[in-house]
């Protein structure tokens, strides 16, 4: 089965100065994040430090949550490249069950490491997740399940179930009141939970 083409690339046909502004804003936002943490990153502060107008920042990101979403999208692209063409077992070359375990573990690690950004990108007005917000997870899980020969299972439904089973505990973790505590334990517990689940589901 071909690898899916995912809609996560940079917008096409962006003009050169718009591309430059975007990169400059994201780089500046990363500096501010590293120095001051997510809570202190505002639209006004970003515009001022980047030396650009507030209107430019607003048009680019729409809202404060939009800044964090853009940072997340940028890192998502790098994550996606590791999945599509990085070394196994996350990338191609390992058995499908190994890749499925590695994918969930890497996804948990990515989102726990990005917990501050991911949380700030969730401003509470998004529609329900578990939908097309996770195209990479869904398409990748579907592809790997298809390679496993799971007998009579309804692979499309199983794909949605497993995608939700991966995202659900992560969303619950990200919506918890205190994220700074016990990030390492959460990471390992969620990763282990994923491995246990898919081993149970996919055993012959």
**Selected range binding a second copy among 12-20, 32-40, 49-57, 165-173, rule: CB under 8 A:** 165-173
Cβ 123 to a second copy shortest distance, Å: 10
Is residue 131 part of the contact set for a second copy (CB under 8 A)? yes
Which one of 85, 92, 168, 183 is in contact with a second copy (CB under 8 A)? 168
C-alpha radius of gyration, the chain, whole number = 18
Tell me the three-class secondary structure of 53-78, residue by residue: CHHHHHHHHCCHHHHHHHHHHHHHHH
Read off the DSSP letter of residue 129.
Answer: S
**Selected range binding a second copy among 8-16, 20-28, 37-45, 191-199, rule: CB under 8 A:** 191-199
Cβ 40 to a second copy shortest distance, Å: 23
Residue 130 to residue 138: CA distance in whole angstroms: 9
Residue 99 to residue 93: CA distance in whole angstroms: 9
Read off the DSSP letter of residue 4.
Answer: P
Is residue 106 part of the contact set for a second copy (CB under 8 A)? no
Read off the DSSP letter of residue 149.
Answer: -
Please answer whether residues 88 and 94 qualify as being in contact, where contact means their C-beta atoms are separated by less than 8 angstroms: yes
Distance of CA 174 to the CA centre of its chain: 12
Is residue 165 part of the contact set for a second copy (CB under 8 A)? yes
Nearer to a second copy, 103 or 167 (CB): 167
**Selected range binding a second copy among 21-29, 79-87, 88-96, 190-198, rule: CB under 8 A:** 190-198
Give which of 61, 116, 145, 202 is closest to 52, Cα–Cα: 61
Cβ 103 to a second copy shortest distance, Å: 15
Is residue 18 part of the contact set for a second copy (CB under 8 A)? no
Is residue 153 part of the contact set for a second copy (CB under 8 A)? yes
Residues making contact with a second copy (CB under 8 A): 122, 124-131, 153-154, 157-158, 160-169, 171-172, 175, 189-190, 192-194, 196-197, 200-201, 203
């Amino acid at each position: 089965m071909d690898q899916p083409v995912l809609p996560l690339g940079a917008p096409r046909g962006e003009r050169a100065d718009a591309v430059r502004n975007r990169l400059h804003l994201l780089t500046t936002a990363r500096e501010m994040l590293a120095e001051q943490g997510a809570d202190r990153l505002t639209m006004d502060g970003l515009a001022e430090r980047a030396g650009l107008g507030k209107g430019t920042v607003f048009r680019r990101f729409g809202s404060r949550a939009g800044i964090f979403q853009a940072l997340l999208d940028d890192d998502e692209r790098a994550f996606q490249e590791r999945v599509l063409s990085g070394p196994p077992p996350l990338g191609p070359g390992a058995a499908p069950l190994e890749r499925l375990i590695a994918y969930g573990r890497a996804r948990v690690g990515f989102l726990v490491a990005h917990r501050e950004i991911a949380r700030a990108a969730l401003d509470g007005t998004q529609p329900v997740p578990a939908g097309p917000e996770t195209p990479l997870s869904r398409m990748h899980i579907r592809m790997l399940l298809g390679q496993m020969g799971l007998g009579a299972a309804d692979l499309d439904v199983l794909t949605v179930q497993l995608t939700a089973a991966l995202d659900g505990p992560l969303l619950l973790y990200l919506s918890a009141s205190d994220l700074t505590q016990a990030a390492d334990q959460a990471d390992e517990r969620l990763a282990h939970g994923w491995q246990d689940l898919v081993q149970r589901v996919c055993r012959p």
